Amino acid sequence: MKVCIAEKPSVAKDIANSLGANQRKDGYYEGNGYQVTWTFGHLCTLKEPRDYVEEWKYWNLRHLPMVPSKFGVKVIDDEGIQRQFQIVKRLLINATEIINCGDAGQEGEVIQRWVFLKSGSKAPIKRLWISSLTEEAIKEGFENLKDGEKFNNLYAAGSARAIGDWLLGINATRLFTKKFALQRQVLSIGRVQTPTLAMIVNRQLEIENFKPQDYWELRTVYRDTEFNSVLGKIKKKEKAEYALSKIKDEPFEITSFEQKEGKEKPPRLFDLTALQVETNKKQGYSADKTLKLIQSLYEKKLVTYPRVDTTYLPDDVYPKIPGILKNLEYYKELTSPLLNTKLPKSKQVFNNKKVTDHHAIIPTGVKLSGVTPEEQKVYDTITKRFIAVFYPDCKVSNTTVLGEVLKLEFKATGKQILSPGWRVVYQKDKSKSKNKDENLMPVFEKGEKGPHEARLDQKQTSPPKPYTEATLLRAMETAGKHVEDEEARELMKDNGIGRPSTRANIIETLFRRRYIDRSGKSIVATHTGVDLIQVIDNETLKSPELTGDWERKLRLIEKGEYQPAQFKKELIELVVNLTNEVLFNTEQKAIRILGDEEKEKEKKPKKKRAKTVKVNITELTCPSCKKEGFLEGKKAYGCAHYKEGCKFVIPFEFMGKKLSNKQLSDLITKGKTTKIKGFKKLGSEEKIDGKLELTSDFNVTLNSN
């Protein structure tokens, strides 16, 4: 029996229908020689620290760095997942052939390979590799199944990514939490998360520390056209006023009038990041929301695979384009001019060398139905971009006019649309109904002169703008570098931080952990986020460029051009050096990481009080069994090794008196406390003073002598 395993029940159902496996069983479909089952996304995960070494379950600096000799995988501890895994395992063990139908990407490969690994199946593996879930695409994919071993590098890259995130995330999080945080507060550190937060914090600090400076710009209006002085920003008011006084009564002369026809190519097709940027700008959708909407459209067979980082199509898609355009009935008005002519095959659209796992996001041509209003907007964005790339270039006239007064040069530019070309697709959109770049200008003749109205505009320098989700996504794509040019961005994608499929989740994680917040469309760092970045001295953890270099190496692993073992070795060295740096740098000062509420409290005047010693009870050694670690219950601390027979318990309250952290610590470590006032006898309001002591059998008693 051939066993197909998909990533979701809905996808498994589509595959089963295409294969004729129509008998519904418990956890799978069967028929026509196939069994089609599914995971729920991840069924398996990397083992946790405590799965390698029992003591690693305790957060203790003495255990760092934690580097397993060999990384292992386990089934996630969830009843539903465990049950489905057992069904999948039974099918895989009895299979004659396994067909991996997981999402055709790095994460999808890892999800399925871990299941195969834990099942122990030895059956040969084939790979279904498709870019859409239409019945046609599924059938075509099964006719061209690939050898599973051809995707070993893809799995190696995904596995290296997961191990790298484990090594750095778990070790650095415990290291900084135990070294710098308040009790019970976790400081989350991540390979991609931390440099992303650093970009936001650094931008915010730039804005907060920015000191505006006045400057002046010299302008003049001649024949209802505004000209700007080539002096640009004039920093001294006296110099600006002097220039104005010299030219205001002198004639303005045109020295050059030039009109050039130019072309504007259609915008590129969408990859996931570009789509998230566009929907954030136009609809205000978060990156995470857009990802969920496009994933839903993909599962409804309306668009192709969304988690992509290319804006190109392969050559073999070109013959399918007319059919897709013809089926876009909702857009007939826009597609009809394209159906009766040979479609262009632009290198900006079709390029085999720029396509790896998948091509750009495009509509499949399946009839639009069953979508929400928000899904409709995302679909409309994708489909109009798809239609626009097959329209002619937009023809424009670019005008440049130069003039002068007393040899001081001025310049004015304008643009007129001569033939809209692809812009026709967007004419009905409110956002594009008026071209902001268009600036109609009169015709000037070289040598003409006349009066003009000169003026000074006083302005101030502006701080950099805070990140929005759109600009943050672009910054992650280019490892923090400001890049406007699309060609340059394409070249930098290999060095971006995170992958298109993970960036939305990284941003949402920062929101969830309250390191960042929203202010309108802007993203701002919270006090906690700022404090966390400022306490991290290690620049590697915060550097977008170095994190981008790790991403480049992961992509090279995927191509078979870099060894996973080398990547792992580099991260282990980083973790070891980081641990030593934080633990043994005597000059390093501990800084408390405070949340917003604590910050507000600190602003209020405080009464002077005696210093208290903060002790983490959970790390103390049990006086009974001599092993380290306590667990905190509702009414008492108990030895963490109770399963091994240790019964030692120490209550939070004794004889009506709540014990302080210091008193509990003294009782555990010294066997007695200093004198404590205010104990109450049972059934009496009489108060007595005394010391608490541990008896020989490790019970707590009061000594009132």
DSSP β-bridge partners for residue 37 = 5, 28
Q: Which residues in 461-566 belong to E strands, given as ranges?
A: 516-519, 522-525
CA nearest 378: which of 474, 270, 522?
270
Question: Rounded to 5 degrees, what are φ and ψ at 6?
Answer: -100, 175
* Distance, CA of 593 to CA of 576 (rounded, Å): 23
User: What number of CA atoms fall less than 13 Å from residue 670's CA on the CB side?
Assistant: 11
Question: Three-state secondary structure along 420-447?
Answer: CHHHHHHCCCHHHCCCCCCCCCCCCCCC
Set 305, 379, 515, 562: catalytic member? 305
CA nearest 75: which of 115, 18, 15, 34?
115
- Structural contact between residues 493 and 273, judged by C-beta atoms closer than 8 angstroms: no
Q: Hey, CA dihedral for 12, 18, 24, 30, is it positive or negative?
A: negative
H or E element, residue 528: helix 527-535
Q: Strand 34-38 and strand 2-6: pairing?
A: parallel
Structure tokens at 466: 């805070």
Active site residue 222: no
* Distance, CA of 576 to CA of 438 (rounded, Å): 58
Q: Say which amino acid occupies 196.
A: T
* Distance, CA of 651 to CA of 637 (rounded, Å): 6
Structure tokens at 10: 């809905």
Cα(first)–Cα(last) distance of the chain, in Å?
81
Structure tokens at 424: 């026709």
Secondary structure letter of residue 521 according to DSSP: T
Q: How far is CA 372 from CA 77, 187, 362, 378, in A?
A: 34, 38, 19, 10
DSSP β-bridge partners for residue 394 = 264
- Structural contact between residues 272 and 305, judged by C-beta atoms closer than 8 angstroms: no
Alpha helices of 389-514 — where are they, by DSSP H?
469-477, 486-492, 500-512
Residue 578: CB atoms within 10 A of its CB come to 23
Q: Strand 125-127 and strand 44-46: pairing?
A: unpaired
- Structural contact between residues 419 and 395, judged by C-beta atoms closer than 8 angstroms: yes
Question: Which residues, at least 6 apart from 667, have a Cβ–Cβ distance to it below 8 Å?
Answer: 650, 659, 673, 692, 693, 694, 700
Q: How far is CA 299 from CA 14, 104, 294, 304, 364, in A?
A: 9, 13, 9, 9, 12
- Structural contact between residues 457 and 216, judged by C-beta atoms closer than 8 angstroms: yes
* Distance, CA of 208 to CA of 463 (rounded, Å): 9
Q: Hey, CA dihedral for 325, 330, 335, 337, is it positive or negative?
A: positive
Question: Helix 193-208 vs helix 500-512: angle between axes, to the nearest 10 degrees?
Answer: 60
Question: Helix 135-143 vs helix 9-19: angle between axes, to the nearest 10 degrees?
Answer: 70
Question: Which residues, at least 6 apart from 315, have a Cβ–Cβ distance to it below 8 Å?
Answer: 350, 352
Dump the DSSP string for 2-59: EEEEESSHHHHHHHHHHHT--EEETTEEEETTEEEEE--S-SEEEPPHHHH-GGGGS-
Secondary structure letter of residue 265 according to DSSP: P
Placement of tokens 């998909």 in the chain:
6
As annotated, the active-site residues are: 305
